[in-house]
Structure 1
Amino acid sequence: MWHGEFRDPRLVEVYDAECPWGWDDDFFMAVLAEHSAPRVLDLGCGTGRLAIAMAAAGHDVTGVDPAHASLDAARRKPGAARVRWIEGSVEVLPAKSFDAAFLTSHVSQFIVGDDEWAGALHALRRALVTGGRLVFDSRDPAARHWKEWNPEDSRRSIVLDDGAAVTAWSEVTSVEDGVVSFTQHYRFPGGRQATSTARMRFRTEEELREQLSVAGFRVDRVYGGWGREPVGLSGDGELIVIAVAESPPNL
């Protein structure tokens, strides 16, 4: 299934079990607290872990995601009533409605095509007030993370809330022009198996800076890790971008 971790209710449960609160969430919460941002957008909010925490911290949060099953899981969580949940993507974003926008868990990389990514950045610029911040993470292609996405190195056991253990592993199927296609495999107790396919675009720091500038953003910071290390000096191998919405023409 295409993006099964977000669209298949059983795989959504697996995703939630495998992705608890982490250092990346701590980072995003700290960045959010650095400036006044009453109205926050979490685009690609998934099952709502971060959106709910932001709302609990006192922000007016809108969580947007195209996957119905993920939003269902988000709405069932404690504190979910504080968040405005919307099924959709950038096409549903109202103009000048947010002081900060976040794309976390490498959501930006799932926007693969150049035109699609440019359109998303322009939509985010329109949705932000001037001076608002766009914050997102993207894996650094120089770190070649996909080299570890093979059945041997990626095999793991994921324990669900009911105690069942799911065996999972990853398999890259192609790497071409910065786009990595891969399949996630899941084996449930009793032998049932499921797969999820996806593609991710790996963009360089230079590409991201240029694309953001064209869309009307000024890049404020780019970190290479969750401890705010410079790019290339962290084992995290990230490009964590904080950009500021400016007042460009043609928006």
Structure 2
Amino acid sequence: MVDALFGMPRLAAIYDAMDADRGDLEHYVAMVGEFGASRVLDVGCGTGELACLLGRLGVEVVGVDPAEASLEVAKGKEFADQVRWIHGDATTLPPLEVDLAVMTGNVAQVFLTDEDWLATLRGVWAALRPGGRFVFETRDPARRAWEEWTREHTHMVTELPGVGEVERWSDLVEVKLPFVSFRGTYVFASDGAVVTSDSTLRFRERSEVEESLQTVGFVVDDVREAPDRPGKEFVFVSSKQ
């Protein structure tokens, strides 16, 4: 099931404005150049920020996401016409033969069961050309990021053009490792609407992720840090041999 934050049109429409700092995407753009990729698959592309950025650079991009509301936002962006948009997930892709597949943000952590995670990895594997790479990030459980997913640490009020004032915060609902559940609350001053979005993420250890990649047939080439969040994330660089 798609979280309301991505699947509800009213929340998808404000997602980019509420999460305006996407400096993390610069590192993925850099890796497109590092690996000489001309064809890229963006798994869980959401509102299409990275896909459109790569499209502007002349990269052939496929963006896939299960949230139709987020894809509708993506399709309205500049350079969206340079991207092939697919409503679905990595298990429903057509033949692609891409050079690089990526998953940014929390995407790798939304697959809660081993079955769904391995099915996603197999879908990515099938979409890559021989020698193609798969790059994604996941939070290091040792950093206990969820301890700051509270109203005290997340409350903010933002004035959005054409929308008005939106108040938002997060509440930690349950920590039952490796699963962490939390709720985002959004209050729209224009009509007083209160909208919530419930999410659960799975925090996998580095060794667990490496083993799952190897099970599918990937070779783990490197495990890096996210340059904009040192010590907080594992960035896995793997390849299809």
Short-chain TM bin = over 0.9
Unaligned runs of 5+ residues in structure 2 are none
Aligned length: 240
Q: Is 1:240 the counterpart of 2:235 in the alignment?
A: yes
1:214 to 2:228 alignment: no
| Deviation of the 1:55 alpha carbon | 1.3
TM-score (norm 2): 0.94
Q: List aligned pairs for 1:81-120, cutoff 5 A.
A: 81-95=81-95, 97-120=97-120
1:201 matched to which residue of 2?
202
Moved more, 192-201 or 151-160: 151-160
What is the deviation of 1:222? Answer: 1.3
The offset of 1:21, in angstroms, is 5.0
C-alpha distance in 2 between matches for 1:60 and 1:89: 18
Matched residue, 2:140: 140
CA RMSD of aligned residues (A): 1.7
Matches within 5 A, 1:9-88: 9-20=9-20, 22-88=22-88
Q: Report the residue type matching 1:207 in the other structure.
A: E
CA shift in 2, pair 1:40/1:106, >3 Å: same
- % identical equivalent positions: 39
Distance in 2, matches of 1:163 and 1:90, equals: 33
Letter in 1 for 2:159: V
When normalised by structure 1's length, the TM-score is: 0.90
Please state whether the residue corresponding to 1:226 is helix, strand or coil.
Answer: coil
CA–CA separation in structure 1 for the residues paired with 2:96 and 2:46: 23
How many angstroms does 1:74 deviate by? 0.5
Q: Distance in 2 between matches of 1:46 and 1:96?
A: 19
Q: Structure 2 counterpart of 1:36, which letter?
A: G
Structure 2 match to 1:129: 129
Give, as a single letter, the amino acid of the residue that structure 2 aligns with 1:211. S
C-alpha distance in 1 between matches for 2:64 and 2:158 = 27
Tell me the CA shift for residue 152 of structure 1. Answer: 1.4
